[in-house]
Amino acid sequence: MKVGYSTIDITPNLGVELSGYGWFLGRKAEGVLDKLYARAVAFEGYNKGYNKDYYEDNLDKNKDKNEDGRDGNKTLDKDTNIRMLLINCDLIAINKLISDTVKQQISDEIGIKKTNIMIVCTHTHTGPATGKLKGCGEPDENYHNTLTGLLIEVGKSAFKNLRVVKNIKSISKEIEPIGFNRVSKEGPVDNYVRGITFCFNEGKPLAILSYGCHPVTLGPLRQISADYPGRVIKALNKEGFDGVFLTGLCGDIDPLQNLIKWGSGTPEVIDEYGRRIVNVLFDSISTAKTTYIDPCLDAFEINLCLNLQQYKYEDIDRQVEIHEHKKEENPGLYKAAKIWAAEMKARLEKSTEPYLEFLTVQVFRIGDALLIGFPGEVFTMIGTIIRQSLTEFNILALGNANYTMRYMPTRDDIEKKGYAGLLSCLLYLRLPLQPGECERMAEIVADSIKEKLLGS
């Protein structure tokens, strides 16, 4: 197995609007607390049906023939050789156009399947507006165009830096909590740091780590920052590791600092969070499970649909009326409600299936580790349901994968018309989900993975 790593600066110019807090704040960047980066990890190896001798005999000679980064893939059996690419961005999200463009371009240029490329965002709320969020920062078209090129560049570069893996370890260890359930005092909190480490004969080792907590430690700061995920990388670098931090499912999880005072975090606080996460790695790495050098690699997608509440025109108007009564208190929210209402009415008029929402969940397998990417802000319990069904694997369940379409809350939040269950629909220009749809999604994902990887 070979793994390649690459990083690139994606910090925007000052003056761009920052994203993550509504409504229509006009929060423009006035400084840079820490730079934003995109980091890419390329994987090259075998799936469960590989012919190792054939692969090794053909890899080097085919590399000599190809100078475009394809690494001889055209002449290798597609059923035995596999390549995957993970791109991680210090951004709140990216929209579907950026995601699709980046995947298509990389696929065209180096011959990797689009289904084998996953783009995941850390979800920092002190970065530029790059996702589909109405009233949470106006997107900068020039930055979007620049970002697209940078993500293509960092993804291609990762394949140029492939190194033979000497040792792989799978990490899963509980941490002293960094987050709390902001929706319910009794709600679940996943306090595990999970990840994978790769060591090589030469050069720095690489760690991919994940923990689920909203990167909102700093509040509506007017400075650019990756929040605590960036400080995880800083702490890893200090210990001689390259790194990627993947924010886990955190639709209902905020940093503990917000219990003291919302948005009161400082650089010292996010430094402490970063060090705490990395300390778990070094506390557990000596006893961590060692995976064989050539683990099974796999990448696939799970397509499904969610059922929406069957709002009629009068239900849409009612939501606008609710916020109209409070428009002096929150004029931005009233503005967002009117935009949402127009969009929802247009959907009812034009869509043949207005109460169905289609999505794709992406899965990467690296030995006993599964990276499961959801295109939304997903509640913690969804990951728990999947883990309870797939105990054989170390599961890194990730939100904001490829693009972010909505909040994906549990039944209780939808039924009580909480922020994630209802109000956030105005941000994402969506109808509310039927109660229980995300739990059903988790069961479908778990069953699909079982069938694909375990034959059951």
Q: What is the pLDDT of residues 123-152, one digit of tens each?
A: 999 999 999 889 999 999 999 999 999 999
* 284 pLDDT more than 90: no
Q: If pLDDT is split at 50, 70 and 90, which confidence band does 288 have?
A: confident
More confident residue, 69 or 319: 319
SS3 174: strand
Q: What is the pLDDT of residue 291?
A: 62
d(CA 170, CA 454): 19
Contact 359, 304 (CB under 8 A): yes
**CA pair distance 345, 326, nearest whole angstrom:** 22
**Contacts of the segment 323-331: beta carbons below 8 A, 24+ positions apart:** 330/23
| pLDDT (0 to 100) of residue 151 | 98
For 328-350, what is the mean pLDDT? 96
Phi/psi for 118 (5° steps) reads -120, 130
The per-residue pLDDT for 455 is: 83
Count the Cβ atoms, other than its own, within 10 Å of residue 202: 7
Question: Quick check: 389 and 320 in contact, CB under 8 A?
Answer: no
- C-alpha torsion 74→77→79→83, nearest 10: -40
In angstroms, rounded to a whole number, what is the distance separating the alpha carbons of residues 119 and 105? 13
Mean pLDDT of 302-324: 97
Write out the two tokens for 240: 């001689």
Inter-axis angle of helices 380-389 and 437-449, to 10 degrees? 30
What is the distance, to the nearest Å, from the Cα of residue 350 to the centroid of all Cα atoms in its chain? 31
pLDDT tier, 447 (very low <50, low <70, confident <90, very high otherwise): very high
User: Among positive and negative, which fits the CA dihedral 108, 110, 115, 118?
Assistant: negative
- Joined together, the tokens standing for residue 15 give 């003056």
Q: Provide, rounded to the nearest whole percent, the portion of the chain with pLDDT above 90.
A: 86
Say how many residues make up the chain: 456
Residue 304 has pLDDT above 50, yes or no: yes
Q: Are strands 394-398 and 369-373 parallel, antiparallel or unpaired?
A: parallel
pLDDT in tens, 255-278: 999 999 998 999 999 999 999 999
Residue 252 has a pLDDT of 98
What whole-number distance in Å separates Cα of residue 410 and Cα of residue 130?
A: 26
Mean pLDDT score across all residues of the chain: 91
| Per-residue pLDDT tens over the stretch 378-435 | 999 999 999 999 999 999 999 999 999 999 999 999 999 999 999 999 999 999 999 9
pLDDT-above-70 percentage for the chain:
91
CA distance 87 to 107: 14
Q: What is the pLDDT of residues 185-242, one digit of tens each?
A: 999 999 999 999 999 999 999 999 999 999 999 999 999 999 999 999 999 999 999 9
CA 345-347-348 angle, to 5 degrees, is 65
Q: How confident is residue 303, by pLDDT bands cut at 50, 70 and 90?
A: very high
User: Cα separation of 216 and 195, whole Å?
Assistant: 22
| pLDDT at position 285 | 81
Q: Which secondary structure element, helix H or strand E, spans residue 242, and what is its range? A: strand 242-247
Q: What is the DSSP secondary-structure string of 366-402?
A: ETTEEEEE-SSEE-HHHHHHHHHH-TTSEEEEESSBS
Strand duo 407-408 + 377-378: pairing: parallel
Q: Is the pLDDT of residue 66 over 50?
A: no
Question: Which pLDDT belongs to residue 404?
Answer: 97
Which helix H or strand E contains 424, and what residues bound it?
Answer: helix 424-428
pLDDT tens by residue, 22-54: 899 999 999 999 999 999 999 999 886 433 443
Secondary structure class of 436 (helix, strand, coil): coil
Q: Higher model confidence: residue 68 or residue 125?
A: 125
CB 349 within 8 A of CB 286: no
Residue 9: Cβ-neighbour burial (10 angstroms; 0-12, 13-18, 19+): exposed
